[in-house]
Amino acid sequence: MLQQTQAQRVVPKFIVWMKRFPDAASLASATQAEVLALWSGLGYNRRALALHRAAAIVAALPGAVITPDEVFLRSLPGVGPYTSRAILAFAFDLPGVFLETNIRTVILKHYFPDREGVKDGELEEVAAFILDKASPRAWYNALMDYGAEIKRIEGNHSRRAASYARQAPFASSFRRVRGTMLKYLLEHGSTSLDEMRASLPFSMESLKKGAAALVSEGFAEYRDAQYGDSLLMLRK
């Protein structure tokens, strides 16, 4: 939820989410429309979809209990190296090396103060060296808070990382088109691209591209094949 979304916006969303979905079973049994409606406003809707699918897998486990195994975690939808190791650290207090923007900021400030284009491999070597293996949960909490404070006072040192990529302004981005179309579908259930064109500030070309993306990503489906790409409905 915190990906590209400020914490003050996430907290109320997180509280409502956890009240509605306190465990994997409750999330797995929800409809996709309900999941997306509660996620609305956080961005990166693919993550909500992946979390919904992951919940179904976890709910089917004996006792619906996740074991601290990185291989298993990496097998869940939407989970990569960062997420799996973050889960191990924060949920199980197990050591592992992972990077995010605040961690990069701390390491770049103190270990690479005068360099540009620092590769993640170099940053991971430092992260492994300084990791408090006896208490990784507390260590990473402190490191991320410290990085956030550095960014507030000094700016974002992680811009000097080789992996840093500046996002296009949201107002002019394809993310805005997709997000607005998905919100429209959540409100209307089904619609035509002509109806969207009359209501949304996007060209038909952008709407067709957005529709294709929403269908390919599993958020929506074409209501009737005989009409081609003109009619959409939210996927259940």
| DSSP string for residues in 193-204 | HHHHHHHSSS-H
227 inside domain: yes
Both 197 and 216 in one domain: the answer is: yes
What was the pLDDT predicted at 170?
59
What was the pLDDT predicted at 167?
62
Domain that holds residue 11: 7-65
Q: Which of 15, 47, 65 is the last residue of a domain?
A: 65
Both 178 and 230 in one domain: the answer is: yes
Q: Which of 50, 65, 80 is the last residue of a domain?
A: 65
Give me the number of domains the chain comprises. 3
What the block records as the tokens of 184 is: 């429209």
What was the pLDDT predicted at 224?
67
151 inside domain: yes
228 inside domain: yes
- The pLDDT tens digits of the residues spanning 58-76 come to 999 999 989 999 999 999 9
50 inside domain: yes
Both 13 and 34 in one domain: the answer is: yes
Average pLDDT in the chain:
89
Both 229 and 174 in one domain: the answer is: yes
Separation of alpha carbons 88 and 137, rounded Å:
9
Q: Which of 160, 189, 206 is the last residue of a domain?
A: 160
CATH of residue 202's domain is 1.10.10.10
Both 151 and 179 in one domain: the answer is: no
107 inside domain: yes
**Residue 189, CA distances (Å) to 47, 49, 208, 218, 231 in order:** 21, 17, 17, 15, 11
* Through-space distance between the first and last CA atoms of the chain, rounded to whole angstroms: 22
Cβ atoms of 222 and 231 closer than 8 Å: yes
What was the pLDDT predicted at 120?
95
219 inside domain: yes
Both 12 and 59 in one domain: the answer is: yes
88 inside domain: no
Both 151 and 175 in one domain: the answer is: no
What was the pLDDT predicted at 171?
62
208 inside domain: yes
Residue stretches of the chain with pLDDT short of 70: 4, 167-172, 224-230, 236
Both 108 and 153 in one domain: the answer is: yes
